[in-house]
């Protein structure tokens, strides 16, 4: 595989340079020491030396089954068909498991591509979250809270670290769900709106047709005259500089909008990738096309200096139809494996933290729906599987176990709050110090919970 398999969008050095003479020069402290929003997004020093600089969050929406993917349960297989806790019967894993990589990590045959990536994964088999209901668990996963609207994970990270490429927004969410919190899952709540995500498409829409609003002019002017109006406006803005530093913010944002009109279409243009890369992600190859594009976009965005990217894949709520699990898995398996490979070969994986998780997992027993037993499993918040890769995590590690049947985490439990705390830690942020005062209280992503799990850090 060649290192320069695609055209770099903007090399890191280039935009750093652009940063120093573009943004930097604009940030020469003005007469009024007021807040400028370019400053809000400028890269910030974390609390301590970070191992990860950016995050790719693969949200597997619906509660993917750990029993068909990453949590090997021989006892469950042995007792398949026996009575479970609920009305249904215990259901043995529907796909065979085998051990892979240096550590002999278990992966089911539904994920043949990811099985080859186990030396990069830190498998968390004893995850727990607060609720087994989608409407609670999804906002929990995204904001650490469900009763109230709180800033999303990505907003906190952006608030804590700023962003590296001032030509692009620092936080993207690709095809988020409209339901179960909807925009609140990527919103900034009481944090300044600067920290909210820029959304690309919606769940259910082909990512091919997704775009950022207002990037294309509607005024019918030639680029030259459009630039002319901007220059005129900027000249007028200059006159007001003595009055308020906010004018600096206006000038900066206008300039950035001009740069974004160029940079965003470029970064979103997968046509700049080689055929080899496109094939690796499964772009234009049927079932893998959409998520392949999302994963490739994620790589292009973080490579361009975006701090936090979330991509989503829905349809994992297997109350029934679990016999088609592998077909579903095929839509993401190859793209995710490609993402890890691609990040690694570009030297990005070491400081990019990749999270794969649903809002919860599933039960070892089947469900009885409308009096009929289905080939499916109910929600389970007491024990499920998520994994991390890159960004300073202990690779090739399987951490935590559930009981022999997989109902509940029994050892090495990682609560969702702990996961948030640990990910912030890897990013150089102390989750107890990353606070924002609102309505008379210091708020944080982990509320009053969360412990950093040092065992999963390299």
Partner 1 sequence: MGRSLFALVALFAISLSTPFTLGEEPQADTPDAKGITLFDTQIKPVLVKHCYECHSKDSEEIGGGLELDSSAGMRRGGDSGSILVSHEVESSPLIRMLRHEEDASAMPPEHKLGDEVISAFEEWIRLGAPDSREETGPTAKDQRVEEGKRHWSFQQPQPFESPTVQQADWPRGVIDNLVLARMEAKGLKPVADANRRTLVRRVYFDLIGLPPSPQQVEQFVADESSEALANLIDPLLDAPRFGERWGRHWLDVVRYAESSGMEFNFTYPHAWPYRNYVIDALNQDKPYDVFLREQIAGDLMPVGKDETPQAIEARRIAPSMLAFGPKRHNSSGTEFQMDIVDDQINTIFRATLAMTVACARCHDHKFDPIPTKDYYALAGIFLSTEPLYGTIKQKYSNTPTDLLSIGPNAAAMHATAEDHEKKIQEADKQLAAKREELNKATEAEKLATAKKTEAEKIVQAKTAAVEEGATVDPAAQQTLDQAVASLQAAANQVVALKSDAASLDANVAELKKNRPPRPQYAMTVRDRAKPVDTKVAVRGNFRDLGEVAPRGFLSAVHVANPPKIDASGSGRLELAEWITSPDNPLTARVMVNRIWHHLFGRGLVASVDNFGMIGKQPTHPQLLDTLALQFIQEGWSVKRMIREIMLSRAYQLGSESDANNIEIDPDNRLFWRATPRRLEAETIRDAILAVSGQLDLERPVGSTVTPLGDQLVRGIPTEKIQPPSNHRSVYLPVVRDYVPELFDLFDFPSPSLVSGQRSVTNVPSQALYLRNSTFVAEQTKHAAKRLLASKEVTDDAGRADLAVRWSLARGITEAERAGALQLVQQIQQTKTEGSDRNIDAWAAWFHTLFTTAEFRYLVDVL
Q: Which residues from 223-252 bind partner 1, rule CB under 8 A?
A: 225-226, 228-230, 232-233, 235-237, 239-240, 242-244, 246-247, 249-252
Q: Which of residues 26-65 bind partner 1 (CB under 8 A)?
A: 31-34, 36-38, 40
- Total number of residues that touch partner 1 (CB under 8 A): 75
CB nearer to partner 1: give 64 or 450: 450
Shortest CB 381 distance to partner 1, Å: 16
- CA nearest 43: which of 443, 428, 391? 428
Site string for partner 1, 187-216 (x = CB under 8 A): x-xx-xxx---x-------------xxxxx
Tell me how far apart the alpha carbons of residues 17 and 13 are, in angstroms, rounded to a whole number.
6
Q: Binding partner 1 by CB under 8 A: which of 90, 121, 136, 283?
A: 136
CB nearer to partner 1: give 7 or 257: 257
* Range 239-277 burial, b when 16+ CB lie within 10 A, else e: eeeeeebebbbbbbeebbeebbbebbeebbebeebeeeb
* Range 371-405 burial, b when 16+ CB lie within 10 A, else e: eeebbbbbbbbbbbbbbbbbbbbebbbbbbbbbeb
CB nearer to partner 1: give 131 or 320: 131
Shortest CB 358 distance to partner 1, Å: 16
CB nearer to partner 1: give 98 or 233: 233
Tell me how far apart the alpha carbons of residues 51 and 253 are, in angstroms, rounded to a whole number.
31
The residue length of the chain stands at: 458
CB nearer to partner 1: give 258 or 350: 258
Asked whether the CA dihedral 215, 220, 224, 229 is positive or negative, the reply is negative
Phi/psi region, residue 317 (left: phi>0; alpha: psi -120 to 50; beta: rest), is beta
Q: Binding partner 1 by CB under 8 A: which of 260, 268, 301, 405?
A: 260
Q: Which of residues 360-399 bind partner 1 (CB under 8 A)?
A: none
CB nearer to partner 1: give 20 or 193: 193
Q: Which of residues 347-366 bind partner 1 (CB under 8 A)?
A: none
Tell me how far apart the alpha carbons of residues 128 and 71 are, in angstroms, rounded to a whole number.
14
Q: Does the footprint of partner 1 cover residue 182 (CB under 8 A)?
A: yes
Tell me how far apart the alpha carbons of residues 230 and 114 are, in angstroms, rounded to a whole number.
49
Determine the 3-state secondary structure of 107 from DSSP: strand
- What lies within 8 Å, CB to CB, of 418 at 6+ separation is 449, 450, 451, 452, 453
CB nearer to partner 1: give 36 or 61: 36
Q: Which of residues 419-448 bind partner 1 (CB under 8 A)?
A: 439-441, 448
Give the interface segment with partner 1, choosing from 108-116, 135-143, 289-297, 336-344 (CB under 8 A).
Answer: 135-143
Determine the 3-state secondary structure of 124 from DSSP: strand
Q: Which of residues 73-102 bind partner 1 (CB under 8 A)?
A: none
Q: Does the footprint of partner 1 cover residue 169 (CB under 8 A)?
A: yes
């Amino acid at each position: 595989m060649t290192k320069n398999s695609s055209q770099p969008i903007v090399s890191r050095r280039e935009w750093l340079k652009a940063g120093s003479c573009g943004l930097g020069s604009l940030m020469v402290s003005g007469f009024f020491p007021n807040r400028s929003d370019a400053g809000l997004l400028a890269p910030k020093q974390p609390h301590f030396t970070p191992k990860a600089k950016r995050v790719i969050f693969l949200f597997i929406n619906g509660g993917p089954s750990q029993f068909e993917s990453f949590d090997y349960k021989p006892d469950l297989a042995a007792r398949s068909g026996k009575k479970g806790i609920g009305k249904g019967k215990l259901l043995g894993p529907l796909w065979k498991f085998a051990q892979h990589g240096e550590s002999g990590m278990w992966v089911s045959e539904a994920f043949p591509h990811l099985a080859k990536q186990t030396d990069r994964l830190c498998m968390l088999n004893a995850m727990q979250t607060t609720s087994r209901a989608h409407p609670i668990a999804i906002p929990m996963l995204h904001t650490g809270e469900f009763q109230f609207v709180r800033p999303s994970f990505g907003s906190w990270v952006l608030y804590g670290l700023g962003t590296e490429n001032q030509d692009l927004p620092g936080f993207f969410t690709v095809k988020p769900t409209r339901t179960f919190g909807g925009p609140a899952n990527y919103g900034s709540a009481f944090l300044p709106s600067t920290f909210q995500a820029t959304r690309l498409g919606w769940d259910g829409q082909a990512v091919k047709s997704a775009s950022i609003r207002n990037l294309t002019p509607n005024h019918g002017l030639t680029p030259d005259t459009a630039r002319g109006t901007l220059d005129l406006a900027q000249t007028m803005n200059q006159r007001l500089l003595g009055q308020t530093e906010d004018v600096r913010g206006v000038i900066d944002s206008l300039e950035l909008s001009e740069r974004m009109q160029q940079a965003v279409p470029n970064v979103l243009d997968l046509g700049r990738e080689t055929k080899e890369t496109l094939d690796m992600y499964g772009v234009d190859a049927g079932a893998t096309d959409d998520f392949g594009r999302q994963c490739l976009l994620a790589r292009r965005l973080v490579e361009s200096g975006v701090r936090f990217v979330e991509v989503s894949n829905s349809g994992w709520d297997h109350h029934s139809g679990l016999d088609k699990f592998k077909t579903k898995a095929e839509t993401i398996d190859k793209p995710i494996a490609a993402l890890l490979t691609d990040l690694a070969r570009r030297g990005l994986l070491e400081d990019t933290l990749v999270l794969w998780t649903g809002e919860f997992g599933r039960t070892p027993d089947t469900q009885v729906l409308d009096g009929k037993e289905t080939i499916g499993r109910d929600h389970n918040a007491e024990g499920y599987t998520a994994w991390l890769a890159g960004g300073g995590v202990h690779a090739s590690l399987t951490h935590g176990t559930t009981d022999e049947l997989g109902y509940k985490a029994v050892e090495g439990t990682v609560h969702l709050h702990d996961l948030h705390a640990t990910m912030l830690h890897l990013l150089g942020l102390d989750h107890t110090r990353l606070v924002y005062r609102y309505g008379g209280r210091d708020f944080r992503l982990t509320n009053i919970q969360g412990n950093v799990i040092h065992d999963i850090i390299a």
